[in-house]
Amino acid sequence: MEQSLIAAVSGIAADQTYLDVIGSNVANSNTTAYKSQSAQFTDLLAEQVAGASAPVAGGQSGGINPIAVGAGVRIGAVSSNQSQGAIQATNVPTDVAIQGSGFLVAQQFGQTMYTRDGNLTLDANGNLTTQSGALIQGWMANAQGTINTNAPTGPLTIPTNTTMPATPTTQLTLGGNLPAWSGTGTATPVDSTINAYDALGNVVPVDLTFTPVTGKANTWTLQGTVTDPAGAITQLWTTPPTITFGTTTGQISSVTGATTNSDGSLSLPVQNMPSTYAFPSSDTWNIQFPNPTSPGAVTQYSGQQSLTVTGVDGYSSGTLSGYSVGSDGVITGSFSNGKTLSIGQIALAQFSNPGGLASQGNLMYIQSSNSGQPTVGVAGTGGLGSLVGGALEGSNVNLSSQLTDLIVAQEAYQANTKVVSTTAANLNALAQMA
- For the segment 381-415, what is each residue's pLDDT rounded down to a tens digit? 999 999 999 999 999 999 999 999 899 988 888 88
Using alpha carbons, list the distances in angstroms from residue 84 to 35, 113, 242. 9, 20, 64
Q: ∠ CA(332), CA(164), CA(329), 5° rounding?
A: 15
> pLDDT value at position 416?
81
Whichever domain contains 189, its CATH number is 2.60.98.20
| Mean pLDDT across 205-226 | 92
Provide the number of structural domains found in the chain.
3
Of 263, 280, 312, the one marking the end of a domain is 312
pLDDT at residue 282, as a whole number: 66
Name every residue whose Cβ is closer than 8 Å to that of residue 140 and which is 6 or more positions away in sequence.
147, 154, 156, 157, 343, 344
**Residues 343 and 250 both lie in one domain:** no
Rounded to an integer, the average pLDDT of 13-22 is 90
**Which of 259-273, 297-311, 377-391, 403-417 is most confident?**
377-391
Query: What pLDDT does residue 72 have?
Result: 81
Q: Given 264, 287, 312, which residue is the final one in a domain? A: 312
pLDDT at 22 over 80: yes
Q: What pLDDT is stored for residue 1 in this prediction?
A: 55
Q: What is the pLDDT of residue 430?
A: 73
Task: Count CB atoms within 10 A of the CB of residue 103.
Answer: 25
Residue 223, pLDDT > 70, answer yes
pLDDT of residue 260: 77
Tell me which residue of 194, 162, 78 sits closest to 342, measured CA to CA. 162
Mean residue pLDDT of the chain comes to: 88
User: 348 or 69: whose pLDDT is higher?
Assistant: 348
- Residue pair 228/277 in contact by the 8 Å Cβ criterion: yes
Same structural domain for residues 420 and 359?
no
Looking at the fold, whether 113 and 154 belong to one and the same domain comes out as yes
Q: Are residues 241 and 366 in the same domain?
A: no
Do 209 and 300 share a domain, yes or no? yes
Query: What's the rounded mean pLDDT across residues 267-295?
Result: 76
105 shares its domain with 76 = no
pLDDT tens readout for residues 164-184? 988 888 888 888 999 999 998
Q: Tell me: pLDDT of 434 over 70.
A: no
Q: What number of residues does the chain have?
A: 434
Are 68 and 100 members of one domain?
Answer: no
Q: Which of 268, 290, 312 is the last residue of a domain?
A: 312
Answering whether pTM is above 0.85, one says no
Are residue 195 and residue 292 in the same domain, yes or no? yes
Confidence of residue 230 (pLDDT cuts 50, 70, 90): confident
How much is the pLDDT for 210?
Answer: 93
CB 32 within 8 A of CB 393: yes
**Higher per-residue pLDDT: 431 or 183:** 183
Q: What is the mean pLDDT of residues 304-319?
A: 89
Per-residue pLDDT, 281: 67
Task: Determine the structural domain holding residue 208 and report its residue range.
Answer: 171-312
Percent pLDDT > 70 in the chain is 98
Same domain? 238 vs 342: no
**150 Cβ partners below 8 Å, 6+ apart?**
none
Over residues 282-296, the mean pLDDT reads 77
For residues 219 and 290, which has the higher predicted lDDT (pLDDT)?
219
Statement: residue 163 has pLDDT above 80: yes
Quote the pLDDT of residue 425: 74
Is the torsion defined by CA of 196, 200, 202, 207 positive or negative?
A: negative
Lowest mean pLDDT among 33-37, 59-63, 95-99, 369-373: 59-63
Tell me: do 37 and 105 sit in the same domain: no
**Pair 94, 127 in one domain:** yes
In the chain, pLDDT over 90 holds for what percent of residues? 49
Whether the Cβ atoms of residue 277 and residue 226 lie closer than 8 Å to each other: yes
Which of 124-133, 198-207, 214-223 shows the lowest per-residue confidence on average (mean pLDDT)? 198-207
Classify 8 as helix, strand or coil: helix
Same domain, yes or no: 35 and 120? no
What separation in angstroms does the CA of 82 have from each of 32, 114, 363?
13, 14, 13
Look at residues 404, 407, 346 and name the one whose alpha carbon lies nearest to residue 114: 346
Asked whether the beta carbons of 35 and 393 are under 8 A apart, the reply is: no
